C-alpha cells in the first residue's frame, strides 16, 4: 500500500490530459442529448484502448454517439452496416487478380481504420461477426494468409439491439469477451426527451440529429498519448486484489452459471484507471472499480436459467455481488 496518496500531496493528473479528456466529453455532448453516463463510459473505453459494445432499442442514439466521437477525433473512420448477407471478406478485405498486370492485388476492408463502427453487429451471422475477432485482439487482419496490421489507435464500437428483437443473432462468447465494456443505453429522462424532441423538430427537415456542432479537437497522436498516460495511472496492490476477488466471486456466486475469466480482472483495472483519469486523479480508488464493474463484467457472465426465468438480470446479480465483496481500505 506504499502507493496510497499521502495527505496534502497534489495527486491530480497532467492538466493537459485532463483538459483533452474533458474537451472530448464536451464535444460529444453537443450532439448527444443527455446520456452523460453512457458518454463517460465510451470515453473510458477509448482511454483504456479497448473496444465497446453499445446495446439499446432502436432510436436511442447509439449510432449518433459513435458518429460524434468520430467527428471530434481527427483520424480515419469507417462504418460497417451488419446485415444477414454480409460476408467476412466484406469486413476484412480480399485479394483480386488484376489481368492488366498479371498480379494479385490486396483490397483492404473497412476494418483498416482508426475508429470502426460495427452497426447492428448482431444482425449478421456468427461467421461474419467472427471476422472481427482477430483485429479486436491482435490489431491485425489476415487476408489470404497474409497478416496486415491496422493503424493505431484502433477502436471498435459495435452497436446491437436487444436479442429479443426480431432478426438478431447472439454474439459468440469468444467475441463478447474481447469487448472491454458493454454499455446499455436506456430511454432518456423526461426532461431530456423533451429537449431531444425540441432540438429535432426545431426548423429541421426530417428527424435525424446532426453532428455538425462537433469539432475536431484531437488527433491520433494525442489519443495514443492519453492512452499511454492512462496506462501509468497508479494501481495499489490492494486494488488489484479487489478486482481479482470480484471476478473470482462470479465463478461461484449463486445465480451465475458461467463466471468471468481473467480478462474480467484485467478489464476492471484498465477501466478503473481510465475512470481515475476522467476524474482528474493519478491513482485508482475502490469506487472507481465499483462504478465500472457492471459495464466491465455484465457481458462476461451468464445468469442461471432458473433466475433468468424469474426475471433476474446480470446487472441485478452483479450489483448484489459488488455490494457484498469486501472493499479495501486505502
Q: What CATH number corresponds to the domain at position 289?
A: 1.10.8.80
- Domains identified in the chain, total number: 2
Where is the domain boundary, 232, 259, 281?
232
Structure confidence at residue 142 (pLDDT): 87
Taking all residues of the chain, what is their mean pLDDT, rounded to a whole number? Answer: 86
* Assigned C-alpha cell, 37: 453516463
Both 153 and 247 in one domain: the answer is: no
Can you tell me the mean pLDDT for 132-157? 89
Both 131 and 97 in one domain: the answer is: yes
Structure confidence at residue 7 (pLDDT): 36
Q: Is it true that the peptide bond before 146 is cis, omega within 30 degrees of 0?
A: no
Using the Cα atoms of residue 276, residue 44, residue 75 and residue 26 in order, give the sign of their dihedral: negative
Query: Phi/psi class of residue 158: alpha, beta or left (left: φ > 0; alpha: ψ in -120 to 50)?
Result: beta
Q: Does residue 150 lie within any of the structural domains? A: yes
What's the domain range around 252?
A: 233-330
Q: Is it true that the peptide bond before 87 is cis, omega within 30 degrees of 0?
A: no
Can you tell me the mean pLDDT for 126-146? 87
Can you tell me the mean pLDDT for 164-181? 80
In 10 A of CB 91, how many CB atoms?
22
Structure confidence at residue 132 (pLDDT): 87
Lowest mean pLDDT segment, chosen from 5-14, 67-76, 115-124, 279-288:
5-14
Both 167 and 273 in one domain: the answer is: no
Q: Does residue 201 lie within any of the structural domains? A: no
Structure confidence at residue 160 (pLDDT): 86
Both 148 and 21 in one domain: the answer is: yes
Distance CA 259, CA 155 (A): 26
Q: Are strands 73-74 and 155-160 parallel, antiparallel or unpaired?
A: unpaired
Both 71 and 161 in one domain: the answer is: yes
Both 259 and 120 in one domain: the answer is: no
Residue 16 clears pLDDT 80, i.e. is over it: yes
Q: Does residue 6 lie within any of the structural domains? A: no
List, for residues 19-30, the tens digit of each pLDDT value: 889 899 998 888
Helices (H), 73-158: 88-92, 126-129, 133-138
List, for residues 88-130, the tens digit of each pLDDT value: 899 999 888 888 888 888 889 999 999 999 988 888 888 888 8
Q: What CATH number corresponds to the domain at position 60?
A: 3.40.50.300
Lowest mean pLDDT segment, chosen from 146-150, 170-174, 269-273:
170-174
Only one residue has cell 439499446, namely 56
List, for residues 259-286, the tens digit of each pLDDT value: 999 999 999 999 999 999 999 999 999 9
Q: Does residue 205 lie within any of the structural domains? A: no
Residue 3 clears pLDDT 60, i.e. is over it: no
The HSE-up count of residue 254 (CA atoms within 13 Å, CB side) is: 2
Q: Does residue 26 lie within any of the structural domains? A: yes
* Assigned C-alpha cell, 147: 497478416
Distance CA 289, CA 7 (A): 22
Amino acid at each position: 500500500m506504499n502507493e496510497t496518496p499521502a495527505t496534502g500531496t497534489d495527486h491530480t493528473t497532467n492538466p493537459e490530459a485532463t483538459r483533452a479528456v474533458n474537451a472530448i466529453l464536451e464535444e460529444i455532448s453537443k450532439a448527444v442529448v443527455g446520456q452523460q453516463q453512457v458518454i463517460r463510459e465510451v470515453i473510458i473505453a477509448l482511454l483504456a484502448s479497448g473496444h465497446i459494445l453499445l446495446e439499446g432499442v432502436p432510436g436511442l442514439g447509439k449510432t449518433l454517439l459513435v458518429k460524434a466521437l468520430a467527428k471530434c477525433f481527427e483520424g480515419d473512420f469507417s462504418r460497417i452496416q451488419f446485415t444477414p448477407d454480409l460476408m467476412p471478406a466484406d469486413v476484412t478485405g480480399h485479394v483480386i487478380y488484376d489481368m492488366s498486370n498479371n498480379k494479385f492485388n490486396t483490397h483492404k476492408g473497412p476494418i483498416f481504420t482508426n475508429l470502426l463502427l460495427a452497426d447492428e453487429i448482431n444482425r449478421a451471422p456468427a461467421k461474419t461477426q467472427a471476422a472481427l475477432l482477430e483485429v479486436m485482439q491482435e490489431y491485425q487482419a489476415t487476408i489470404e494468409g497474409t497478416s496486415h496490421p491496422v493503424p493505431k489507435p484502433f477502436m471498435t464500437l459495435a452497436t446491437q439491439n436487444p436479442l429479443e428483437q426480431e432478426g438478431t443473432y447472439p454474439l459468440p462468447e469468444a467475441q463478447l469477451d474481447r469487448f472491454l465494456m458493454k454499455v446499455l443505453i436506456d430511454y432518456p429522462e423526461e426532461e431530456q426527451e423533451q429537449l431531444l424532441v425540441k432540438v429535432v423538430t426545431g426548423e429541421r427537415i426530417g428527424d435525424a440529429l446532426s453532428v455538425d456542432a462537433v469539432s475536431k479537437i484531437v488527433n491520433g497522436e494525442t489519443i495514443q498519448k492519453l492512452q499511454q498516460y492512462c496506462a501509468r495511472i497508479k494501481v495499489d496492490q490492494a486494488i488489484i486484489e479487489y478486482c481479482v476477488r470480484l471476478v473470482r466471486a462470479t465463478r461461484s456466486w449463486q445465480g451465475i452459471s458461467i463466471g468471468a475469466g481473467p480478462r474480467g480482472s484485467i478489464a476492471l483495472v484498465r477501466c478503473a484507471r481510465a475512470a481515475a483519469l476522467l476524474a482528474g486523479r493519478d491513482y485508482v480508488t475502490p469506487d472507481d472499480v465499483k462504478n465500472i464493474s457492471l459495464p466491465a463484467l455484465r457481458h462476461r457472465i451468464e445468469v442461471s436459467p432458473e433466475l433468468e426465468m424469474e426475471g433476474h438480470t446480470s446487472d441485478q446479480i452483479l450489483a448484489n455481488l459488488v455490494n457484498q465483496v469486501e472493499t479495501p481500505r486505502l
